[in-house]
Amino acid sequence: MSRNSAHSPSAEGISRRRLLSASAAVGALALGGAGTARASTAAATRADVTELRARAVVVGTGFGGGVTALRLAQAGVKTLVLERGRRWVTGPNATTFCRFATMDNRSAWLTDHSIVGGVDKTWTPYTGVIEAVEGNGMTANVGAAVGGGSITYHGMTLQPTKANFARSIPLAADFYDYLDKVSYPTVSRMLGISPIPDDLLASDPYKSSRLFRDVLPKVGLTPFKVPLPIGWEYARGELTGRYEPTYTTSDVAFGVNNGGKHSIDVTYLARAESTGLVEVAPLHVVRDLALDANKKWVLSVDRIDTGGAVQEKISVTADAVFLNAGSPGTTRLLVKSRAKGLVPDLPDAVGSKWGNNGDRIWAWLNPNGDAGTQQGGPACIGATDSGSPIPYTIVHAGSPAPVSGATLMTVVGYGIVDGAGTWAYDADKDDAVLTWPSTADAALQALITARMESIAAAGGGLMLDTNATAPSTWHSLGGVPMGGAVDLYGRVLGHKGLYVLDGARIPGSTGACNPSYTIAALAEHSMETIVRKDLGTVF
Distances (CA, A) of 97 to 20, 91, 128, 269, 431: 39, 10, 9, 20, 29
Residues 272, 73 contacting (CB under 8 angstroms) = yes
Per DSSP bridges, beta strands 310-323 and 297-304 are: antiparallel
Residues 10, 279 contacting (CB under 8 angstroms) = yes
Task: Return all residues near 381 (Cβ < 8 A) that are at least 6 apart.
Answer: 209, 212, 213, 223, 224, 225, 226, 395, 396
Query: How far is the C-alpha of 67 from the C-alpha of 179, rounded, in Å?
Result: 14
Cα 80 from chain centre: 20
Distances (CA, A) of 350 to 292, 430, 472, 505: 20, 16, 22, 10
Residues 475, 359 contacting (CB under 8 angstroms) = yes
Task: Return all residues near 220 (Cβ < 8 A) that are at least 6 apart.
Answer: 387
Per DSSP bridges, beta strands 16-19 and 49-59 are: antiparallel
**Which contacts of 1-5 are long-range, i.e. CB under 8 A and separated by 24 or more positions?**
1/88, 1/89, 1/95, 1/96, 2/86, 2/87, 2/88, 2/89, 2/96, 3/87, 3/89, 4/86, 4/87, 4/146, 4/282, 4/283
Query: How far is the C-alpha of 258 from the C-alpha of 247, rounded, in Å?
Result: 8
Distances (CA, A) of 208 to 16, 199, 317: 56, 15, 52
Question: What residues pair up with 132 in beta bridges, in sequence order?
Answer: 141
Q: Each residue's pLDDT tens digit in the chain (539 positions)?
A: 333 333 333 333 333 333 322 222 222 222 223 333 333 333 444 458 999 999 999 999 999 999 999 999 999 999 999 999 999 999 899 999 999 999 999 999 999 999 987 788 899 999 999 999 999 999 999 999 999 999 999 999 999 999 999 999 999 999 999 999 999 999 999 999 999 999 999 999 999 999 999 999 999 999 999 999 999 999 999 999 999 999 999 999 999 999 999 999 999 999 999 999 999 999 999 999 999 999 999 999 999 999 999 999 999 999 999 999 999 999 999 999 999 999 999 999 999 999 999 999 999 999 999 999 899 999 999 999 989 999 999 999 999 877 778 999 999 999 999 999 999 999 999 999 999 999 999 999 999 999 999 999 999 999 999 999 999 999 999 999 999 999 999 999 999 999 999 999 999 999 999 999 999 999 999 999 999 999 999 99
Task: Return all residues near 367 (Cβ < 8 A) that are at least 6 apart.
Answer: 211, 215, 407, 409, 456, 459, 460, 461
Query: How far is the C-alpha of 55 from the C-alpha of 94, rounded, in Å?
Result: 37
